[in-house]
Structure 1
Amino acid sequence: MSFFSSNNPALKEEVFTQTAAEREVSGGSVMTLNGTMAKAALMLGIVFTFALFAWDLFAYMGVPVPYLISIPLIGVGLAFLITYKKHLAAYIAPIYCALQGLFLGGVSGLLELKFPGIATQAMLLTFTIFGSMLLLYSTRLIRVTERFKSIIITATFGIFVFYMASFALSFFGVDMPLLHSSGMAGIIFSVFVVILAAMNLLLDFDTIETGMQYGAPKYMEWYAAFGLTVTLIWLYVEILRLLSKLNSRN
């Protein structure tokens, strides 16, 4: 899981209001939708490129377990750094994306050996959900109210705590059944997390729109694109987890 989505400081509305105030003092170009989407596409391109590299590399070498554990932890550290050094997002976010690409390539390759076609299915579902959420948001069929934000943020934070607890307990040989079980409870849990990740996309769209409304400075395009990319990575991982559970039942 990517541990930062719309509830993390990376896409909080206050971030944009503060930086907008900075721009009014210093002047300069403002954040735009086209600029943000272009940077998000670039970051996803970096993720995809490094995922393909890792896929090919570890198909021959095998995937060392320490590698799979260490990269997400480094990613969390970089995400925190970006959160508190927003103006450095243009330099740090591509590194984060490259590392996540290596991680996703390794994990996807491992699961592909066990369940052929699962990576392609997960990718198609990820972008299908992204397009669907964008349509729902742009047509205002789902409105991102303050109550809606509060519910999604609270639920996402709860999942974050659960994942962190699961990671810590794994060192003591304690397994969280909902996370890995292919039973009905495990599948329902994964469906819930996939839906929650999809809902976070709506919050991402809303906060990006807020940034443009407030006239946030140009560098915030990198920052906002980073937040959106993180949510998409999280969504892909959760879909991959769900599909692996479903395939395990066959």
Structure 2
Amino acid sequence: MRSGNPALSENTFLDLGSGTLVRGNADAMTLNGTVNKTALLLVLTLAGALFSWAQFTSAMAAGNPGAIMPYVWGGAIGGFIVAMVTIFKKTWSPYTAPLYAVLEGMFLGAASGMFELRFPGIVVQAVGLTFGTLGALLLAYRSGLIKATENFKLGVVAATGGIALLYLAQMALQFFGFGGMSFINGSSTIGILFSVGVVIVAALNLVLDFDFIEQGVEHGAPKYMEWYAAFGLLVTLVWLYLEILRLLSKLQSRN
């Protein structure tokens, strides 16, 4: 099993204690349990986003936009740290996954407020497109229209890794004072096509996540993996939302 999502690697659904999958266990992972926990994480993400959105609105009304930055950096850095802890300590996911959802929600709410200030209406569009994409791909996957074959998985993983390397190179160039690759953030035709490609790759990662979760349920992964699988799916959804938001902002900046 492969997934382009770094939270769902090849050995994700292994029992970390024995290195074997749990089979025939009443406490094994179920699809309904994973769906319920994913829904709970989405609610927590929304709660965090609404909180930081309200703080952003208050900061702008007071003429002090800098007051929102602790929520931006706190949510982003805190969410990254908690995500890394969750990836390396999967058994902690029942506790760390909800914390990640709240922190990431705080970051998303503040960041979304900044985009909305510049491009009114963009957030509603991005949210709608994100969940529309989720629903469409889930339907396509369940109907068999899209199959997570080994070649499909390999292609998505390779594309995801390439995008990650580009983003890391961009950050390194900017850190050392170079201009970086303008097409990543620019609204030129190349920049828009790049964002379209990234959105497609992020969306296809959802298919890999669906397949990975299905495999975990089929093989009777430990119960705590419901939280971990929900966390992994949330990671992909956050990435997809941010990339859609970036694409929409590029398109609207050209108007």
TM-score past 0.5 threshold: yes
Aligned counterpart, 2:202 = 197
Q: Return the alpha-carbon distance in structure 2 between the equivalents of residues 110 and 137 of structure 1.
A: 34
Note if contact 1:82-1:89 (Cα within 8 Å) is conserved in structure 2.
Answer: yes
Residue 247 of structure 1, CA deviation: 0.4
Larger mean CA deviation between 12-21 and 164-173 belongs to: 12-21
Residue 71 of structure 1, CA deviation: 3.5
Residue 75 of structure 1, CA deviation: 2.4
> Which of 42, 51, 60 in structure 2 is aligned with 1:44?
42
Aligned counterpart, 1:155 = 159
TM-score by length of 1: 0.91
CA-based RMSD of the aligned residues comes to 2.0
Aligned counterpart, 1:222 = 227
Residue 22 of structure 1, CA deviation: 5.6
1:137 aligns with 2:141: yes
Q: Return the alpha-carbon distance in structure 1 between the equivalents of residues 23 and 131 of structure 2.
A: 36
Letter in 1 for 2:51: F
Is the alpha carbon distance of 1:175 and 1:13 closer, same or farther for their aligned partners in structure 2, counting shifts above 3 Å? closer
The sequence identity of aligned pairs, in percent, is 51
Q: Return the alpha-carbon distance in structure 1 between the equivalents of residues 201 and 211 of structure 2.
A: 16
Residue 95 of structure 1, CA deviation: 1.3
Aligned counterpart, 1:104 = 108
Aligned counterpart, 1:60 = 58
Note if contact 1:12-1:207 (Cα within 8 Å) is conserved in structure 2.
Answer: no
> Which of 46, 54, 79 in structure 1 is aligned with 2:83?
79
Aligned residues: 245
Residue 183 of structure 1, CA deviation: 0.7
Instruction: Show structure 1 runs of 5+ residues with no match.
Output: none
1:12 aligns with 2:9: yes
Aligned counterpart, 1:235 = 240
Letter in 1 for 2:45: V
Greater relative CO, 1 or 2 (CA 8 Å, sep 6+): 1
Aligned counterpart, 1:91 = 95
Q: Return the alpha-carbon distance in structure 1 between the equivalents of residues 32 and 153 of structure 2.
A: 24
Letter in 1 for 2:153: K
Note if contact 1:17-1:214 (Cα within 8 Å) is conserved in structure 2.
Answer: no
Q: Return the alpha-carbon distance in structure 2 between the equivalents of residues 158 and 65 of structure 1.
A: 30
Residue 7 of structure 1, CA deviation: 2.1
Residue 59 of structure 1, CA deviation: 1.6
Residue 70 of structure 1, CA deviation: 5.3
Q: Return the alpha-carbon distance in structure 2 between the equivalents of residues 179 and 119 of structure 1.
A: 20
Is the alpha carbon distance of 1:24 and 1:138 closer, same or farther for their aligned partners in structure 2, counting shifts above 3 Å? closer
Aligned counterpart, 1:207 = 212
Is the alpha carbon distance of 1:166 and 1:65 closer, same or farther for their aligned partners in structure 2, counting shifts above 3 Å? farther
> Which of 170, 179, 182 in structure 2 is aligned with 1:177?
182
Instruction: Show structure 2 runs of 5+ residues with no match.
Output: 60-64
Aligned counterpart, 1:31 = 29
Residue 168 of structure 1, CA deviation: 2.8
Q: Return the alpha-carbon distance in structure 1 between the equivalents of residues 199 and 91 of structure 2.
A: 31
Residue 65 of structure 1, CA deviation: 4.7
Residue 167 of structure 1, CA deviation: 2.2
